[in-house]
Structure 1
Amino acid sequence: MEQEFAGRTVVVTGGSRGMGRELVHAFAARGAAVVVASRKLDACEAVAAEVTEQYGVRALPVAFNASSWADCDELVETVYGELGRVDVLVNNAGLSPHYPSLAEVSEALFDKVIAVNLRGPFRLTAAIGTRMAADEGGSIVNIGSIEAIRPGEHALPYAAAKAGLHVLTEGFARAFGPKVRVNTVQPGAFLTDISDNWMPGLREQMEANVALGRCAEPAEIVGSVLFFASSSSSSYATGALLRLDGGWR
């Protein structure tokens, strides 16, 4: 496989499982040093060991809670202290807890969802983007959701946070241009280990809502992130939002 990201450092939040793990493997396979940032250090260490053994790249596991402002700052200091630079940041960490009804959404649940899906990406992008802009530049890729424009009652706080991520995408693109590009991939339903725990019938329900009639495979999402991360492939793309939802109705 072409070593497209050799010599580059890529930070992936929520990198220990699901789409984050898929992204860590994809960047490592293309030569990048990868930072696996997620809540459980042992899970991060396991993924870091996988990619080091499989691809021979450096992998730095970091315990990180996206809802914590302090953890965002500590992640930045750790990465720059250990690796000296960040070329690509992928804001992938996300959270959408179930709730019985809209009236029963608690203040704590609402605040947690906003903190993980919006506040964390804001702080990380502000801190890393500022350093990128002062150095050689870089690319920041946000992982959004179709919920941001097709919200359902089962995930309204999450949908609101992801809609806010669209605003941050364009705002940061303007703030940090021309050296830093900021873009968002907006997936629909996709299949990873997390989807194995979906409620019975949920997959069939979602697949009935898309023109392609199926959920996405991880590689179908990963490719778009690699596209935005690569300065050679997407050098004129910033502030952009790419729907990748199979034609969600």
Structure 2
Amino acid sequence: MSTVGGLSTPEAVRAARRDGIGLGLLGVYGVSFGAVAVASGLSPLQAVVLSALGFTGGSQFAFAAVAAAGGAPVTGLASAWLLGLRNTLYAVRLTDLLPRRAVPRLLASLLVIDETTSMAVRHEENGPAAARAGFWTTGVGLFTTWNLTTVLGAYGVQAMGDPSALGLDAAAPAAFLALVWPYLRHRRTAAVAALAAVVALLLSLVAPAGVPVLAGGAVALLGLDRRWRS
């Protein structure tokens, strides 16, 4: 464990930053969102603004899907909101790592997503400084690459063709799985993850979009509550 007296060592902080930079580069699949959003009926400018202000990946695709189906904007917002609720659970988990002052805390809240939470938790055993380094490096990197490539996708959709043919939509799930995989070696964590997956899968058959993810996340947090307090 790379800590001294509970504090992160410089090596641990550098390692967290390296991991964050690598994961941040996966934001290039924002090009897929930009293309899909425009193909769904949004203007390029609307797609770009949505990425900047609603930086939540899956929620953005949910909104675009409703728009493509001809649904009302309020329906799209509801679907996006349900999917984005899981970030509230992440914020509770990260509350001690996020800044205390209002403005930095507001900026940090924009970056509380799957990848940044996973990176922070992964490096938390090496001390709070390493966890924060992983969070901020991943968040800033993903936000930058996601928004830049959203612009490319939104304004270059006609020249690019079908973005799904590039396989960019699989980059984020693959990276997330790589982050959580080491924790699945523990029997308790693996059991909780399996239960959460089953709950989400079953609910996906009957519940609105976003509810299965939120329920699975709640199951995981409740199941691992003892572990976080220990």
- Fold shared by both chains (TM-score > 0.5): no
Q: Name whichever structure is richer in strand by fraction.
A: 1
Q: Name whichever structure is richer in helix by fraction.
A: 2
> Which entry has the higher C-alpha Rg, 1 or 2?
2
Q: TM-score, normalised by structure 1?
A: 0.30
Ranked by relative contact order (alpha carbons within 8 Å, sequence separation 6 or more), the top structure is 2
Q: TM-score, normalised by structure 2?
A: 0.31
